Structure 1
Amino acid sequence: MRALFERRLDLDFQVVAINELADAKTIAHLTKFDSTHGLFPESVSHDGDTLNVGSHKIALLRSQNPEDLNWGDYDIDVLVECTGSYSDRATAQRHIDQGAKRVLFSHPATAEIDATIVYGYNHHQLHGRETIISSASCSTNCVIPVIDTLHKALGIQSGTTWTVHSAMHDQPVIDAYHNTDLRKTRSAFNSIIPVDTGLDKGIDRLIPELKGRFQSLAMRVPTVNVSAIDFAVVVEKNTDVDTVNSILRNASSNGFSEVLGYTQEPVASCDFNHDSRSAIVDGSQTRVSGSNLVALHTWFDNEWGYANRMIDVAQYWASKWH
């Protein structure tokens, strides 16, 4: 919602209802004040179960059961599913059965949905007849433009990705018995914590010709926002640092100009807070071992970049509904 207002797209999309179990006072407060991204750009208040954002009045609903949500009363064109509680078509269909016309997942979904979309890469595949789609994950949106660019230019034989991700809400501030993944029971701000990732499966789904060629690792680090992904890829064509950087710099100005950035400044992660791009290649960290093993470093705001990609997907999808 914040991205809609900051981009002045609230004239194209109106948020008419939010299903959130928290009370209205808390919702209004955490909309107005954000520890990472600062004050909301519009006035925010609440009146009973109505959230007032600028001139918009948004109904606040509270249900864990989709069957209790009468979306038909609100003429919902697209329901943005951000709970992360499920990712299957059958559960998403329950929202459609209650009157929502379409569902957009804010995370990777199972294979039987209509499409998994990474904006800037395959959004042109949308034809408007889909009812349930996903905009993949923040890390998938980061890696796909880079991998696709390198594969087309140099040919990728195999590779690994290592995601260094900021702490997330499924981690406790102090050790707590709350997760079956024992590493996630540990304090988010005391340790670097290895976690599972399905990023390699996302690469397989979106670039089928590379299926089975990537393996992925991930860890959480004690920062509140902005993450990084390191790549190591074996390429078919001999190359060097200047050539790799030139390929990626050109992609950031041409084919992937909307979502891919490039820098060689001596930057740190905080310099990309509130950056709306999917990935920013740090050319100062590019390395080539021998002439075929390429190492890369990319930055991305895992919150703001992904929120903007979801809006881009919704906006393009909407252009195909007529």
Structure 2
Amino acid sequence: MFGKEGNHEKYDHCLTIISIASCSMNCLALWSRLFIHVNFEIMERLMITVYTITSTIKNMDLPSRKLWHVGHGTSQIIISANIDTAKTVGKVIPELNGSFTGTVFCVFIPMSSINLTYTLKKDDTYGDIKKVLNQALDGPLKDILAYAEDQVVSCEFNSDTYSSSFDVWTSIALNDNVVKLIYLYENKFDYRNYIMDFMVHMAYKD
């Protein structure tokens, strides 16, 4: 992860194998650690992601015998599955280990969305959260994450280079202790850009 409190500085040129995680992980971990976890005390976290169909998810969910091959009707179905993205956050950010769980709904579109529900320990209004997230984007993550205040739809993020964008309009608060935050990202294009950024960082460190 890049940013003031990212783990990219832990890169060592002596390493023979490194991981840039995944597009979902770069969305989930960046927002969770650099903003929410740093600025607010969170008791519980639940993730739901809407994600495009992939061969990996298919293999993981194959034993359930769900309807994967339905001919011309494939664009009209939603497939639920279990993924390890939420749990894997603990490997990237050790202090969050064991604090995440979640599920995925697979659809036939190139865009993805992460829906994070937080239970906060202290009373913090949704306005407070928006202010913190917006101010944070003026720092080291200015060109990595985005803050979308307009009413947007998924196709507006096609070929978007940001790791993800915080959807202000769709995100909501149940009360001052429970909030639901929505993030949108282009499934693979932004991730490829992120890989290139890290390769440049590796070259600089080497």
Same fold per TM (> 0.5)?
Answer: yes
Paired residues of 1:191 and 1:221 also in contact (CA < 8 A):
yes
Q: 1:88 maps to what in 2? A: none
Structure 2 CA distance for partners of 1:119 and 1:302, relative to 1, 3 Å: farther
Query: What pairs with 1:33-72 in structure 2 (closer than 5 Å)?
Result: none
2:138 aligned partner: 253
Aligned to 2:184: 299
Other-structure match for 1:154: 40
Matched, 1:230 2:115: yes
For 1:268-307, what aligned pairs fall within 5 Å after superposition? 268-307=153-192
Say whether the 8 Å CA contact 1:196–1:218 is kept in structure 2.
yes
CA-atom RMSD in angstroms: 1.9
Q: Which structure has more RCO (C-alpha within 8 Å, separation ≥ 6)?
A: 2
Q: What's the CA shift for 1:310?
A: 1.0
Contact 2:44 2:120 in 1 (8 A): yes
Identity %, equivalent residues: 26
Once residues 111 and 46 of structure 2 are traced to their aligned partners in structure 1, the CA distance between those partners, rounded to angstroms, is 20
**Match in the other structure for 1:207:** 93
Q: In the alignment, is the contact (CA less than 8 A) between 1:183 and 1:195 conserved in 2?
A: no
CA contact (8 A) 2:2 2:141 kept: no
Q: Which amino acid aligns with 1:182?
A: R
Superposed, 1:1-322 pairs within 5 Å as 118-120=1-3, 121-148=6-33, 149-169=35-55, 179-180=62-63, 182-183=65-66, 185-187=68-70, 188-223=74-109, 225-321=110-206
| Larger radius of gyration between Structure 1 and Structure 2 | 1
Q: Take 1:249 and 1:259, find their aligned partners in 2: how far apart are those partners? A: 13
Deviation for aligned residue 1:122: 1.5
TM-score calculated relative to the size of structure 1 = 0.58
Once the two structures are TM-superposed, the CA of residue 180 in structure 1 deviates from its matched residue by 4.4
Q: Aligned pair in 2 of structure 1 residues 308, 144: CA closer, same or farther (>3 Å)?
A: same
* Runs of 5+ consecutive residues of structure 2 not aligned to the other structure: none
Question: AA paired with 2:146?
Answer: G
Gaps of 5+ in 1: 1-117, 173-178
Structure 2: how far apart are the matches of 1:282 and 1:296? 7
Residue 198 of structure 1 aligns to which amino acid in structure 2? D
Per the normalisation by structure 2, the TM-score is 0.88
